[in-house]
Structure 1
């Protein structure tokens, strides 16, 4: 919308230990679990009108695995990995080492319950062995300590990369506070391999019974996804271009992944190739809860977006998720609150104004009237321009806030309704006919501005309203306006007199999204990317649905590929 080419890519955490844990619980193969949940993710994205340039399934792509293996060998060749033996938790009952999702205890930093690897409460890492009162997740038994030979990444050696990223990239205050606290202490060494059967094989002799750590893999994961992209889009250049050239990379993820993205991954990149540029910004969110409790598919406490959207309007859901997005604190989803947003806000406020506007347009001949604007128009239009300025910030990397954007969209409607209420006095009075016609044109300017501003969050509604206002082409192809324009006099108007958010409205669904990966055109089997997922699949994600197509109106001169890591939250 601002003339930039943005590339939006994502993938599943197919090799996470959570996938293997769920597969074991269900007596199934991890690859099957990842693929089936990945299909749900793809359905959810399509149902919500979200399109990506690539949505990869790492476990199904030999090319992806090959890239990770080459990356790992390069680190070995550059002595960036160290072999050492340490005492690690071992479950006697299960006859296996317990790590990451297979181990649970209390965080040594904040005392909250935590799995191995990262604490979701405080965002600080752990090595598993330093958990307090650790227990095997599978059997509940207390593990003993046994020596384990692994490859480790000496993170402190590459501290400068994390410090540079922290100094240069955009982070919200909560993320900055966490990273500052992490960097104030010596950085811990990180296991690059784990004693697992699921994952990418370690390309080093003597480690046949281990796999590359899924958390460690997620660093080069982004480079591997970019490597898949040129073939998916038919573009030359290879994976190096976005990471060593002038493209800008923005990453989106949850609070519990801040340590990995801002501290660990830049260090891994520096060890691999010092020419790699870190992302210019990191957009994070907190956990999103369902009826007051954490989403959990293992307990059946989840809403599947694909199924939900078969019964509910996608735009209404996207708008509600944007309003309640957990940007600075954990927030909650309830069906009652969603229905209230649709009924009281979108139907009761937005549709109420638009239906009234539609009837008055019909009475005026179904076109934008040719009349001088009323004396109050400059002040009203200045307020609209001010709201657009605020929205531009909300859609930028530095100020990214779907929640604030949603409230600003509602403010556009409220300002328009107030303007209408002030000028209703001219209705039916021949002496004030020109004033009434001019006021109607100003209201149509507000409706046009609403369509343009709402496109990132409510694409189906915005596109329909845009066309009903006589504008040509899709609203997503329109240029963003810091000073919203008045509609052209004489333009035919065909606003809906029945509203835009009422249920069972034929044609109200958003247009089908563009293909989300090269898999849409039946590519070679080696590169089919169909079903990325963690074990927990794709329950509704407050930020992801709202932000997925939000363009950034911040002025930049270079294209901005976006690497976006999505977790089921």
Structure 2
């Protein structure tokens, strides 16, 4: 008898196991070291799960969005993979977001065309920036997703977890359209800041579009008038005690913990599960056939898709989520409420840690990511994303420090050793002390890359350590062959040490040295190249353009 298929505890339907999709290939680590302390790597069997905020394909990717969650998450994923850790790095595109439909209405196109077109553009930008997801959930492209989400809503309704309630909802008479999500703007009912129906960037407290102050149609700017509308809601007040216990045990940043306190000080909100409209997954509930699954509810459901508690996937040992405060609210308010409504304790899904950013907020860089990537290259843009320096400044550092040192080094090798690795081992005045400093640096670098988990992850410090390594090495003399060999070994180490932040330049440097790129960030990466090997870049510069 064949074994029974696993059943998703969320929807009680058989789970279809499909291979994880990748958006870009990644090299496998050459080895999995098991030493620690002196710069050695650690290998653990537990899965480290890295999640990022779902992206709405309503426009091209902007630098603020790229810098916020995606590059930093990719830096951590690259380091852990090279270290031999089991990593699952996931993303999602919120294809059914109301922002997609709003963009389509402004451009006179179909929402499906807008979602597909910008999703392809975002995929290309991710790839150009070197973002190496293990899996990306795409709501409109993933086979079976719509059926899964509809089954989830139908189950919640049949279990009595959803409350049908009639109440006012903004309506635009000139557009003949119900206003919710990105279709309506107004004032946040909690803090008064400018907001839309998807949520407030300032305080992030969840609310219904009906609560917006001075609602206005986002398409024609006509003040909205409330009309009665019957919708399905998920009341959170019935889950107050388990939610409070979950939030108390969550190691949340200060801003998120303050939001929990504000929520508990009042009656917990009722979250819309369905909204009237034509874009999105239809509600499979009698009397609500003209409605679609609410975008915020679906954003939380995206996190569950394909990895229910009984889906056969290994349970994460640690989960780190990268995104803005509103995205964190979806993970800590909407998602645990959804699990509780499905009678699944939130503890089944390990509590995530959070790295908050203002990627989509009013202060985010609105420059098109593709334009900046084409002008400055992925190395400079990724440095800018995690270090905070502008892309032009990042490129100036790469040219003035990194590439200048490499140009001088390869020129010295051509002059003194015919362009080949000298026979002499590393040595010369200052080399033993420099190697001791490098051993200390790699310990600090591993911590900055997240060797200690979410608590030590600091890619900004990693960039500073890498820059210091190049400057220290550049200051060493290169008049003798042992000195050249030593500096070439540092260059070889940078093909591993710099790879999480600047994979494109690390690969070009590895090609110039004849070594594989992306190895573990360890002192062992400070390898002596095989004597007689021809070295030198095929073209300059190595890092950046």
In which range does the TM-score fall when normalised by the shorter chain?
0.7 to 0.9
Q: Pick which of 404-413 and 257-266 moved more.
A: 404-413
Match of residue 397 from structure 2: 345
Question: Contact 1:266–1:278 at 8 Å: present in 2 too?
Answer: no
1:410 is aligned to 2:467: yes
Return the structure number with greater relative CO, CA threshold 8 A, min gap 6.
1
1:475 pairs with 513, 517, 528, which one? 517
Partner Cα separation in structure 2 for residue 156 and residue 389 of structure 1:
48
TM alignment of 1:81-230, pairs within 5 A: 81-159=162-240, 162-163=243-244, 165-167=246-248, 171-226=252-307
Question: Contact 2:426–2:484 at 8 Å: present in 1 too?
Answer: no
**C-alpha displacement at 1:179, in angstroms?**
4.3
Measured at CA, do residues 142 and 498 of structure 1 come closer, stay the same or move farther in structure 2, by a change above 3 Å?
closer
Question: Contact 1:89–1:144 at 8 Å: present in 2 too?
Answer: yes
1:262 pairs with 332, 336, 360, which one? 332
Question: Contact 2:398–2:544 at 8 Å: present in 1 too?
Answer: no
Match of residue 383 from structure 2: 319
Measured at CA, do residues 189 and 204 of structure 1 come closer, stay the same or move farther in structure 2, by a change above 3 Å?
same
| Unpaired segments ≥5 residues, structure 1 | 228-236, 296-301, 326-336, 428-435, 505-569
Measured at CA, do residues 272 and 121 of structure 1 come closer, stay the same or move farther in structure 2, by a change above 3 Å?
same
Question: Contact 2:381–2:394 at 8 Å: present in 1 too?
Answer: no
Question: Contact 1:316–1:501 at 8 Å: present in 2 too?
Answer: no
Partner Cα separation in structure 2 for residue 445 and residue 198 of structure 1:
57
**C-alpha displacement at 1:187, in angstroms?**
2.5
Question: Contact 2:93–2:119 at 8 Å: present in 1 too?
Answer: yes
Measured at CA, do residues 372 and 407 of structure 1 come closer, stay the same or move farther in structure 2, by a change above 3 Å?
closer
Match of residue 485 from structure 1: 526
Match of residue 282 from structure 1: 354
Partner Cα separation in structure 2 for residue 486 and residue 130 of structure 1:
62
Give CA deviations for 1:134-187 in whole Å, capped at 9, x if unaligned: 222122222222222111112233345544554555544444444454455443
TM alignment of 1:350-361, pairs within 5 A: 350-361=402-413
1:463 is aligned to 2:507: yes
1:24 is aligned to 2:105: yes
Partner Cα separation in structure 1 for residue 282 and residue 310 of structure 2:
24
Partner Cα separation in structure 1 for residue 544 and residue 521 of structure 2:
30
1:253 is aligned to 2:323: yes
Match of residue 55 from structure 2: none
1:77 is aligned to 2:121: no
Secondary structure, aligned partner of 1:129 = helix
Measured at CA, do residues 31 and 498 of structure 1 come closer, stay the same or move farther in structure 2, by a change above 3 Å?
closer
**C-alpha displacement at 1:6, in angstroms?**
1.9
1:450 pairs with 485, 494, 497, which one? 494
Measured at CA, do residues 379 and 270 of structure 1 come closer, stay the same or move farther in structure 2, by a change above 3 Å?
farther
Partner Cα separation in structure 2 for residue 416 and residue 184 of structure 1:
57
1:241 is aligned to 2:313: yes
Partner Cα separation in structure 1 for residue 468 and residue 237 of structure 2:
48
Measured at CA, do residues 288 and 64 of structure 1 come closer, stay the same or move farther in structure 2, by a change above 3 Å?
closer
Partner Cα separation in structure 1 for residue 353 and residue 88 of structure 2:
15
TM alignment of 1:410-449, pairs within 5 A: 410-418=467-475, 420=476, 423=477, 427=479, 436-449=480-493
1:46 pairs with 107, 127, 132, which one? 127
Match of residue 444 from structure 2: 390
Measured at CA, do residues 390 and 257 of structure 1 come closer, stay the same or move farther in structure 2, by a change above 3 Å?
same
Partner Cα separation in structure 2 for residue 30 and residue 239 of structure 1:
32
Secondary structure, aligned partner of 1:49 = coil
Measured at CA, do residues 501 and 182 of structure 1 come closer, stay the same or move farther in structure 2, by a change above 3 Å?
farther
Partner Cα separation in structure 2 for residue 110 and residue 69 of structure 1:
34
Partner Cα separation in structure 2 for residue 105 and residue 172 of structure 1:
28
Task: Give the CA RMSD over aligned residues.
Answer: 3.1
1:370 is aligned to 2:410: no
Measured at CA, do residues 288 and 188 of structure 1 come closer, stay the same or move farther in structure 2, by a change above 3 Å?
closer
Question: Contact 2:426–2:528 at 8 Å: present in 1 too?
Answer: no
Match of residue 139 from structure 2: 58
Q: Pick which of 308-317 and 350-359 moved more.
A: 308-317
Partner Cα separation in structure 1 for residue 148 and residue 157 of structure 2:
14
Measured at CA, do residues 488 and 324 of structure 1 come closer, stay the same or move farther in structure 2, by a change above 3 Å?
same
Give CA deviations for 1:385-444 in whole Å, capped at 9, x if unaligned: 3333333233323333433332332222122223x1xx46xx3xxxxxxxx444434433
**C-alpha displacement at 1:31, in angstroms?**
0.7
Measured at CA, do residues 485 and 341 of structure 1 come closer, stay the same or move farther in structure 2, by a change above 3 Å?
closer
Partner Cα separation in structure 2 for residue 126 and residue 216 of structure 1:
12
| Unpaired segments ≥5 residues, structure 2 | 1-81
**C-alpha displacement at 1:104, in angstroms?**
0.9
Measured at CA, do residues 120 and 371 of structure 1 come closer, stay the same or move farther in structure 2, by a change above 3 Å?
same
Secondary structure, aligned partner of 2:182 = helix
Secondary structure, aligned partner of 1:89 = strand
Q: Pick which of 489-498 and 107-116 moved more.
A: 489-498
Q: State the TM-score, normalizing by the size of structure 1.
A: 0.72
Question: Contact 1:251–1:279 at 8 Å: present in 2 too?
Answer: no
**C-alpha displacement at 1:216, in angstroms?**
0.2
Measured at CA, do residues 117 and 257 of structure 1 come closer, stay the same or move farther in structure 2, by a change above 3 Å?
same
- How many residues get paired? 457
Match of residue 41 from structure 2: none
**C-alpha displacement at 1:60, in angstroms?**
3.2
Partner Cα separation in structure 1 for residue 252 and residue 510 of structure 2:
34
Measured at CA, do residues 163 and 456 of structure 1 come closer, stay the same or move farther in structure 2, by a change above 3 Å?
farther
